[in-house]
Chains A and B, each alone.
Chain A
Amino acid sequence: MTQSNPSGFNRRDFLRAGSLGTLGMLLGSMDSVAEIRAPAVSNKDDEDPGEPVPCAVIGAGPWGREILDTLARLPGAPVAAVCETYEPFRRRASGLAGDAEAVEDYRAILDDPEVKAVIVATPSHLHREIAVEALEAGKHVYCEAPLASTIDDARAIARAAREVKDKQIFQAGQQFRAEPQHHHVRNFLQAGALGQPLFVRSHWNKKESWRRAAPTSEREAEINWRLKTDSSAGLIGEQGIHSLDIASWFLNARPKAVAGRGGILYWNDGRGIPDTVHALFEYPGGINYTFEATLANSYQGIGDLICGSDSAVMIQENRAWMFREADAPLLGWEVYARQEQFFEKTGISLVADATQLIQEGLDPATDAPEPEPSIYYSLKDFFACIRENRTPHADFNVGFEAVVTAVTAHEAVLNQSTTTFKDEWFDV
């Protein structure tokens, strides 16, 4: 668990002093890998968040149902209605949302003055009409990522959001933007823990067809929108968008160019969308970002790696580890580490915000509050923004820029080409 501390520093004293500003103070050998844990997130405010904001969920497929489950646990966000055009999904959803009314036409929700906020979780290519009309109807809108499967549609949504930004909240579904773990990792990076940033790498690997079944051929055609080029932004747009967005956020930059490659290597079942893709993004300063995804092998699953001259940071789901070079300056918090083995590297798991835990008489190595799923934090932030009238982390700009990045990359994959981004493409 905790390492011995040959410098003689008292753990507690060190933590009090501990910050990235105290680099190099500690003597003695350190292992080279550290887990970075999210700051202690208090759930104390959860039970009394303030004025309830009645909301509605539009689109109740598997993800819409996850959202309903999350809202059921989130105080102050009563679900007044749920909308779904497909009857079996609608029936299922109504069981998840308490007394919520289940409707077939989303306009019934937009006409309902009781509903203050809507969460749009329909297929991506159907977001535009719903999100724009909801904003025009005066609702606060949480629109799942990607905002849309085309740049035009995403721009229309972002413009509608900009139009009402002083009185209504618009949040894009890039849920990691509201997650404490990712904020915490970003703070480390911003403080220079990487040394010279070198490159970023993300992978999204699964073994599944991405196809879905339905009792009728009409429904099957409808539900398999992700496999068709005219309705889908592909693996990069539908899944990669989260990683792409994190890369731009962490690097604090927009990509300059993207080269795409990919094809249908395994699921040759009449689909138009590649099942295996690679995209190489060029960022300012010579930093490259590689995104790769496949539906034919699940090795390593989903994860991101950010590499610098002093350390590499690996993110998997809601956990992160830092792998330090032997010659990197000490950051100070390694002493609180829990060790884990990654092939030939010894990992040290770290607890962020340990000072607060120690003040509460807890041991940072074992007592750190564990996180909720990222969608929980994202929805929680949305409702907090509504109550406090503040701009969400993932506002319309963030949502739109991610679509520009992802859709351009998806098209580069389809065309096996390289595209140079123009600054004005990112203008809403």
Chain B
Amino acid sequence: MEPASPQLLYRETPGDDPGAVTVARNAMATRFEILLYGEDPVRLRAAGEEALAEIERVEARLSFYRPDSEISRINRDASRGPVRVSARVFHLLLRAAELSRASDGAFDITVAPLLRTWGFTARQGKVPCAADLEQALGRVGTRHLKFDETKRTVAFDRSGVEIELGAIGKGHALDQAVEILREGGISSALLHGGTSAVYALGAPPGEEAWKIAIPAPSSAAATPENTGDPGRPRFLAVIPLRDAALSVSAGWGKWFEIEGTAYTHILDPRTGSPVSERRLTAVAGPGCTDGDALSTGLLAGGLSLFDRIAGHASCRRALFMGWPPGAPKPTIRSHRIEMESHAE
């Protein structure tokens, strides 16, 4: 199996600049990094630290693994009755449910039972028996979440339902961090969480926009296109971003094979099964939360969802690449993302 977190995005510009301050912290099982430009390095560092502290607070609220998080409380108690949640978590859950509908259920925050059934959470793929699969499918779907806006409560309509915000948690944390930076008077910064979600605040000094590159899948992904210099990543596309977010999802890094059938770790919550083709998706738009959800939805839903995702109000640019088993070339759809020549 390949490393769980391949580098998905590269910063094309600018180069190493002594005027910039970089701060970083590990949170949500990944590394968050913020690059800030401005006049006073002491101030830039202070702002960056505040943003990182906000990311940690978001993790404390949303973590599936921390027993004292709001999400854990919901997962523990919501099948027995409504659970009161903070305004921030409530609005995030509502938004997630909305984005789930927008992606026809391909993005779904209740997918955890399915992931477990397929052994993805234990990083050991296995094909579940029909009964297990049916039981897990019965617990998946945002229709099982019951929201009460007046009382700000969440309830599950059956036991075994679970909320796991892994797909949008990083994006949400970045969106919150951006607010903190703006509040602190920062006008030029680049934030990313594990290189799969990035937000470009303003632009670097003297530039129109931050330029973010999506590298071609590594040679292990067995793409015929990727035959370049192994020391340098080849870019599929370079996307200019200014006050905008970019989320990338990829399902080439993890896969397993049982009895001759290859499975990716891309699970479609609607069918309950992993898809057979490797995929890479990217969505650029105004915010990381929505971008993460839409790119995750496109990854799971595949090409048939492309027009629907690309037409969403939170999507300004979109990219889909799929490598169907045995096909000589990848399927590529792009909406306002210009591909580098070698990628075609």
Partner-B contacts on A (CB < 8 A): 43, 47, 62, 66, 68-70, 72-75, 88, 92, 95-98, 208-209, 211-216, 220, 269, 318, 369-373
Contacts and interface: CB of A to CB of B under 8 A. Distances in A.
Nearest to B86: A69
B88 A209 contact: no
A213 B184 contact: yes
17 contacts: A43-B77, A62-B54, A72-B85, A96-B88, A208-B53, A209-B42, A209-B45, A211-B45, A212-B50, A213-B46, A213-B47, A213-B185, A213-B186, A215-B185, A369-B76, A370-B72, A373-B68
Nearest to B179: A92
B262 interface: no
A41 to B, nearest CB: 11
Given A72-B87, A211-B49, 20 more contacts: A47-B81, A69-B61, A69-B87, A73-B73, A73-B85, A74-B84, A92-B179, A98-B152, A208-B49, A209-B45, A211-B42, A212-B47, A213-B44, A213-B50, A213-B184, A214-B184, A220-B43, A369-B76, A371-B68, A372-B73
A264 to B, nearest CB: 14
A370 B76 contact: yes
B60 interface: yes
Nearest to A270: B42
Interface residues of B, number: 32
Contact of B53 (A47, A62, A96): A62
Nearest to B44: A213
Interface in B212-254: none
A209 B49 contact: yes
Chain A contact residues: over half helix, strand or loop, or mixed?
Answer: loop
A373 B63 CA distance: 13
Contact of B57 (A62, A75, A97, A370): A62
B87 A212 contact: no
B70 A73 contact: yes
Contacts of A269: 42
A177 to B, nearest CB: 18
B259 interface: no
B68 A75 contact: no
Closest 7 CB pairs of A and B: A215-B185, A370-B67, A213-B47, A213-B184, A69-B86, A211-B46, A213-B46
Contacts of A318: 68
Nearest to A211: B46
A96 B87 contact: yes
Contact of B68 (A92, A97, A209, A370): A370
Interface string B48-90: 0110011001001100000110101100110001001111100
A47 B47 CA distance: 39
A372 B47 CA distance: 29
B46 A209 contact: yes
A43 B87 CA distance: 20
Contacts of B85: 72-73
Contacts of A69: 61, 86-88
Contacts of A47: 81
A4 B73 CA distance: 32
Contacts of B54: 62
A75 B43 CA distance: 40
Nearest to A91: B183
B51 to A, nearest CB: 9
A214 to B, nearest CB: 6
Contacts of A98: 87, 152
A320 B197 CA distance: 36
A371 B67 contact: yes
Contacts of B68: 318, 370-373
Nearest to B48: A213
B14 to A, nearest CB: 22
Nearest to B70: A73
B86 A75 contact: no
A148 B47 CA distance: 26
Contacts of B77: 43
A47 B70 CA distance: 16
B185 A214 contact: yes
Contacts of B46: 209, 211-213
B46 to A, nearest CB: 4
Interface core residue of B60, B70, B81 (most chain A CB under 10 Å): B70
Contact of B87 (A74, A97, A220, A369): A97
Nearest to B82: A47
A199 B68 CA distance: 30
A242 B183 CA distance: 30
A292 B88 CA distance: 35
Contact of A72 (B47, B72, B86): B86
A189 B54 CA distance: 36
Interface in B85-136: 85-88
Contacts of A209: 42, 45-46, 49
Contacts of A72: 84-87, 152
A47 B85 CA distance: 13
B55 to A, nearest CB: 12
Contacts of B87: 68-69, 72, 95-98
Interface string B176-187: 000100011110
A84 B296 CA distance: 39
A176 to B, nearest CB: 14
Contact of B86 (A96, A208, A213): A96
Interface core residue of B46, B67, B88, B185 (most chain A CB under 10 Å): B46
Contacts of A88: 183
Contacts of B44: 213
B27 to A, nearest CB: 13
Contacts of A370: 67-68, 72, 76
Contacts of A95: 87
B334 to A, nearest CB: 37
A142 to B, nearest CB: 18
A410 to B, nearest CB: 22
A258 to B, nearest CB: 30
Contacts of B185: 213-216
Contacts of A75: 84
B62 to A, nearest CB: 12
Contacts of A220: 43
Interface core residue of A97, A213, A216, A220 (most chain B CB under 10 Å): A213
A73 B184 contact: no
Given A62-B57, A66-B57, A370-B68, A73 B86 contact: yes
B186 to A, nearest CB: 7
Contacts of B42: 209, 211, 269
